[in-house]
Amino acid sequence: MKECSKSIMRRMHEPNFANRYFVGHGLDIGGGPDPLGLYIELFPRMLGVKAWDKEDGDAQILKGIEDAQFDFVHSSHCLEHIDNPAIGLRNWFRAVKPGGHLIITVPDEDMYEQGQFPSTWNADHKFTFTISKSNSWSPKSLNILDLILTLGTGLELIKLHKLDESFRYTLPRFDQTLTPIGECGIEIILRKRTNEEIKDGGRIPPKGIVSKIEAFLLTGYQLD
């Protein structure tokens, strides 16, 4: 279904992917036949992407991957396939350098599974995901907000986006990811805070004074 490829055009039109998220050396978990590295020339600050798939070992553990090894970690539609998503998420996050990003896409349970689990469309799915529900029809539903909060004080939530722009809510039940445009997912972007940020309780501006020239260039107003 090439869900990573579907995301590329959308991400190219969001400057932060090229300027902040896909920057430096990355790890792509579960890329399989549709790896992020195929599109490296479209994100000029991406220096390289290591692919991790079944032949490399358990994606839940990432054995052999050191802590804080990568500038970013990416995974498209892999978290739903592992036995314990909370453990997997912690290991993915530990592989990110302080100041780096974890970018994940998972299927939204309502848009993808559409009221039935075990999955009609993918028998290997072990869990379903929603951004936040007090009650779900799925016996294996996980709230994304609850899941990411287990990462602790090093977590900075940057983006949590239900990808329903191309989903057609008026159609009868069928797998809309089989269409060229249907993503039917949730995109999560997390940043790992530096030790200094954890100590300070947030991202504090650097010390110094903005010069009059800088202030004018930034605001268009002359400061007295």
What does the pLDDT look like over 161-177, one tens digit per residue?
A: 999 999 999 999 999 99
Contact 197, 203 (CB under 8 A): yes
**Average per-residue pLDDT in the chain?**
95
**71 within domain boundaries:** yes
- What is the percent of the chain with per-residue pLDDT over 90, rounded to a whole number? 89
**63 within domain boundaries:** yes
Cα–Cα distance measured from residue 146 to residue 150, given in angstroms and rounded to the nearest whole number:
7
- The vertex-61 CA angle with 116 and 156, nearest 5°, equals 80
**86 within domain boundaries:** yes
Distance between alpha carbon 84 and the CA centroid of its chain, in Å?
17
**224 within domain boundaries:** no
Q: Strand 155-163 and strand 185-192: pairing?
A: antiparallel
Cα–Cα distance measured from residue 73 to residue 83, given in angstroms and rounded to the nearest whole number:
19
Backbone phi and psi for residue 43, each to the nearest 5 degrees, phi listed first: -125, 90
Domain count, the chain: 1
Digit-coded pLDDT (tens) for 125-156: 999 999 999 999 999 999 999 999 999 999 99
Mean pLDDT of 156-160: 98
CATH number at residue 102: 3.40.50.150
Cα–Cα distance measured from residue 109 to residue 90, given in angstroms and rounded to the nearest whole number:
22
**171 within domain boundaries:** yes
**52 within domain boundaries:** yes
Digit-coded pLDDT (tens) for 66-107: 999 999 999 999 999 999 999 999 999 999 999 999 999 999
Structure tokens at 96: 């990110």
Domain that includes residue 41, residue range: 3-219
**179 within domain boundaries:** yes
